[in-house]
Amino acid sequence: MSISFTALANESIRHLAPYQPGKPISEVQRELGIKDVIKLASNENPLGASPKALAAIKNQINELALYPDASGHDLKQAIAKLWQIQPDQITLGAGSEALFVLIGQAFVKPGQDVIISQYGFATFTIATRIFQGNVVTVPAKEWGHDLEATLKAVTPNTRLIFLANPNNPTAAWHDHDTLVKFFERLPSDIIVVLDEAYAEFMTDEKNYPDSKKLLSQYPNIIITRTFSKLHGLAGLRIGYAISHPEAADMLNRVKLPFNVASTAMVAAIAALDDHDHIEATLNLNREGMQYYKEELTKMHIAFLPPAGNFMTIDVARDCGAVYQSLLREGVIVRPLTGYGLPTFLRVSIGTMTENQRFIQSLRKVL
Ligand SMILES: Cc1ncc(COP(=O)(O)O)c(C=O)c1O
C-alpha cells in the first residue's frame, strides 16, 4: 500500500486508543460456541425497551422514507415539560456520547485543556482528543472526581471539565452542596459537562444534585442525559443536553441536521411517559443491587459503593483472566484494565435470574 492513512491522520487521533465496548452476545456465541449467553457488560436495561416506546416505533414505521424533524420539536417539548424548562435550552444527540462530541466540536480549540478525572468515563478522552484538545487528568480521590485538585489544575488555558455524576466505572458521585461549593470557586467561563447518564437511578439519594437548580445559578454547566439506561433504548441512540439557550444555540449550529432518527425521537417521547416501565426498572435495580451486595459480602469480595445500575468489584487477581473464565460460562462483564484497574470487574445489574447466574459463575471461576 503506497498510502499511509495513519501518517495522514491528525496527530491527536493517531495516538488515540479505540473505545473498548462490552462484547456483544452474538460474538461470544460465535467465538465460544455457547448458546446461552447473558450480557452484563454495558449497563443496559434488563427489562428491555419501554413497551410504550416499542409501540411508538411500530407506528412510526410507515414514515421511514421521510427525514426526521431536524428541530426535534416534539421531543424537545416533552423534555421541556418534564424539566419545566424552555425548549431552546435543549440539544438532541444520538446518545450522550454524541453530545460530548458536539460539545468538543463547538467549544474545544486545538491545544486547550480539558480536565477529566483519573477514572472518568472513557469517551470524554475521545471527545477531547478528536478536536486536538489537551487531556488533563486529575488523580481520583476516593475513586471519584477530586474537585479540589480540579480547581488547582485550572489555568487560563482550561476550556472544559467533564464530570460524570455518578461516574462510570467507579460509581463515585458528589452531592448538591459539594457541587455548589465547587462552582462557586470555578471561573465562570469554564464549561462543565455534568454527565448524568445514571441520574434517574439516584432517586433514593436525598442529596443528589438538583442540576436544573445548579444550571440556573451557574450557566456554564451543560447537563447531559440519556435514554440508554433507565428507558432501555441504548440501541436507538438518543440523549439530550440541557444548557443555557446560548450554549444550546452553539451546539445546534454544529449538529448535523438529521443527527437523531425519527424512530428514536418517537420512542423517547413515549418512554418518558412510561411510568410503569420506569418504576419496574428502578425496583428491579434496587433488588438486584441489594442481592449483589449481600452475595459479594458473603463471598468476601470487595466492591465500590454502588450507584446507578452497576457494581464495580475487586476480584483481587487479574480481572482479564476472570473475565475470560466468565465468558466461558456465558456471562459477559467488563474488565477494567483499560481504566488502570487491573483487578476490577464492572457488572451490570440484570434480571434476578441473570444476577444469580453471574454470582454462581463468579463463585465457580474464583
Ligand atoms: C457515565 C456515562 N456517560 C455516558 C454514557 C453514554 O451513554 P449513551 O448511550 O447516551 O451514549 C455512558 C454509557 O455507558 C456512561 O456510562
Task: For residue range 81-121, list pLDDT tens digits in order.
Answer: 999 999 999 999 999 999 999 999 999 999 999 999 999 99
pLDDT for 286-309, tens place per residue?
Answer: 999 999 999 999 999 999 999 999
Q: Is 308 in the pocket of ligand 1 (CB under 6 A)?
A: no
The length of the chain in residues reads 366
Question: What is the structure's pLDDT at 319?
Answer: 96
Going by CA atoms, what residue is nearest to atom 2 of ligand 1?
197
- Tell which one of 194, 229, 348 to mutate to probe ligand 1, the residue whose CB is within 8 A of the most ligand atoms: 229
Rounded mean pLDDT of 59-77? 96
pLDDT at 20 over 80: no
Give the bridge partners for 38, in sequence order: 331
How many angstroms is it from 164 CA to the middle of ligand 1? 9
Q: Which three cell numbers stand for residue 281?
A: 426498572
Question: What is the structure's pLDDT at 19?
Answer: 78
pLDDT at 18 over 90: no
Find out whether 161 and 191 touch, Cβ atoms under 8 Å. yes
Count the helix, strand and coil residues of the chain and give each as a percent rounded to the nearest 5. Answer: 45, 15, 40
Question: What is the structure's pLDDT at 102?
Answer: 97
d(CA 194, CA 212): 11
pLDDT for 326-347, tens place per residue?
Answer: 999 999 999 999 999 999 999 9
d(CA 120, CA 162): 8
Atom of ligand 1 nearest to the CA of 166: 1
- Tell which one of 39, 44, 45, 121 to mutate to probe ligand 1, the residue whose CB is within 8 A of the most ligand atoms: 121
pTM for this entry: 0.96
Find out whether 251 and 243 touch, Cβ atoms under 8 Å. yes
Which of 234, 258, 269 lies closest to 60, judged by CA?
269
How many angstroms is it from 7 CA to the middle of ligand 1? 31
How many angstroms is it from 53 CA to the middle of ligand 1? 20
Q: Is 165 in the pocket of ligand 1 (CB under 6 A)?
A: no
pLDDT at 12 over 90: no
pLDDT for 28-60, tens place per residue?
Answer: 899 888 899 999 999 999 999 999 999 999 999
d(CA 268, CA 262): 10
Q: Is 241 in the pocket of ligand 1 (CB under 6 A)?
A: no
- Tell which one of 39, 43, 92, 96 to mutate to probe ligand 1, the residue whose CB is within 8 A of the most ligand atoms: 96
Under the banding of pLDDT at 50, 70 and 90, the label for residue 258 is very high
Burial class (CB in 10 A: 0-12, 13-18, 19+), 222: buried
Q: Is 70 in the pocket of ligand 1 (CB under 6 A)?
A: no
If DSSP codes are grouped into helix, strand and coil, which group holds residue 313? strand
Question: What is the structure's pLDDT at 128?
Answer: 96
Q: Is 359 in the pocket of ligand 1 (CB under 6 A)?
A: no
Calculate the average pLDDT of the chain: 96
Q: Is 117 in the pocket of ligand 1 (CB under 6 A)?
A: no
Q: Is 93 in the pocket of ligand 1 (CB under 6 A)?
A: no
Question: What is the structure's pLDDT at 46?
Answer: 97
- Tell which one of 39, 42, 91, 123 to mutate to probe ligand 1, the residue whose CB is within 8 A of the most ligand atoms: 123
Burial class (CB in 10 A: 0-12, 13-18, 19+), 185: exposed
Question: What is the structure's pLDDT at 237?
Answer: 98
| Number of separate helices (H) and strands (E) present in the chain | 15, 13
Q: Domains along the chain?
A: 8-39+276-365 (3.90.1150.10), 51-272 (3.40.640.10)
d(CA 296, CA 290): 10
Atom of ligand 1 nearest to the CA of 99: 11
Instruction: Check residues 181 and 19 and name the one with the higher pLDDT.
Output: 181
Q: Is 22 in the pocket of ligand 1 (CB under 6 A)?
A: no
Find out whether 264 and 94 touch, Cβ atoms under 8 Å. yes
